[in-house]
């Protein structure tokens, strides 16, 4: 069944926390070392809602299959129209095109909310699917940072991708 893409609510956050925890604990897709709990996700959702930025979930067969949001790229006010996107799918939901649906809707809603430039920060290991997903959505490479993170006893770099919404 085609997933429904909709705004996240507090009732989704336990599933969101569970999805992110999987990648924090077992992958370098995120540089986070300790997974935030549901209360921390509630703060995040409230902050993004207050700022007017989209936080979406993909729901399939009554389950949260993934989530995506945009938030400020940098806190200084001159960066106000530049956002960073985040997208994570339940491992069982990857490889089915759900990422593309979720990202397309996220970018539409980010544009409507006033975003002009979107940055994706992609860790350089285990992230081929994310690179492919973002490039297909029109992101282009904006630079690389080497050895900026350390996880699982390895130094890791990031690739920055950028898309203009104008
Ligand atoms: C990144 C993510 C959101 C992509 O969404 P998705 O719906 O799973 O996307 P897909 O699995 O269809 O992958 C997109 C493309 O990458 C390709 N791909 C996936 N893994 C690959 C790999 N290891 N090598 C080469 N290509 C790969 C897929 O084949 C697909 O191309 P296709 O449609 O031609 O087959 C999802 O895989 C995910 O949540 N991954 C883990 C978390 C993560 O990395 N988040 C992004 C942080 S920046």
Q: List average pLDDT for each run of 10 residues in the chain, which is 166 residues long.
A: 95 98 96 97 98 98 98 97 98 97 98 98 89 98 96 96 96
Domains and CATH numbers, the chain: 4-164 (3.40.630.30)
Torsion of CA 72, 74, 80, 85, to 10 degrees: -30
Cα separations (Å) of 68 from 36, 107, 110, 148?
A: 16, 10, 11, 24
pTM of this prediction exceeds 0.75: yes
Query: What is the position in ligand 1's atom list of the atom closest to the CA of 94?
Result: 8
Nearest atom in ligand 1 to 30's CA: 47
* Predicted local distance difference test score (pLDDT) of residue 1: 80
**Spatial CA neighbour of 44 closest among 80, 71, 6:** 71
Q: What is the pLDDT of residue 124?
A: 81
CA-based torsion, 137, 142, 158, 77: positive or negative: negative
How far apart are alpha carbons 16 and 136 in whole angstroms? 25
Q: Is the CB of 128 under 6 A from ligand 1?
A: yes
- Reported residue count of the chain is 166
Does residue 3 line the site of ligand 1, with CB under 6 A? Answer: no
* pLDDT at residue 159, rounded to an integer: 96
- Tell me the three-class secondary structure of 24-53, residue by residue: HHHCCCCCCCCCCCHHHHHHHHHHHHHHCC
| CA 66–ligand 1 middle distance (angstroms) | 13
CA of 148 to the centre of ligand 1 (A): 23
């Amino acid at each position: 069944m085609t997933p429904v893409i909709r705004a996240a609510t507090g009732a989704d956050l336990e599933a969101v926390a569970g999805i992110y925890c999987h990648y924090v604990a077992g992958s370098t897709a995120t540089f986070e070392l300790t997974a935030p709990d549901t209360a921390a996700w509630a703060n995040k959702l409230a902050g993004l809602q207050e700022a007017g930025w989209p936080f979406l979930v993909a729901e399939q067969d009554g389950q949260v299959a993934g989530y995506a949001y945009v938030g400020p790229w940098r806190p200084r006010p001159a960066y106000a129209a530049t956002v960073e996107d985040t997208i994570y799918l339940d491992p069982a939901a990857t490889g089915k095109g759900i990422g593309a649906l979720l990202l397309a809707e996220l970018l539409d809603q980010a544009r409507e909310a006033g975003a002009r430039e979107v940055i994706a920060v992609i860790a350089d290991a285990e992230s081929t699917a994310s690179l492919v997903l973002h490039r297909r959505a029109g992101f282009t490479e904006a630079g690389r940072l080497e050895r900026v993170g350390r996880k699982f006893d390895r130094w890791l770099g990031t690739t920055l991708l950028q898309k203009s919404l104008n």
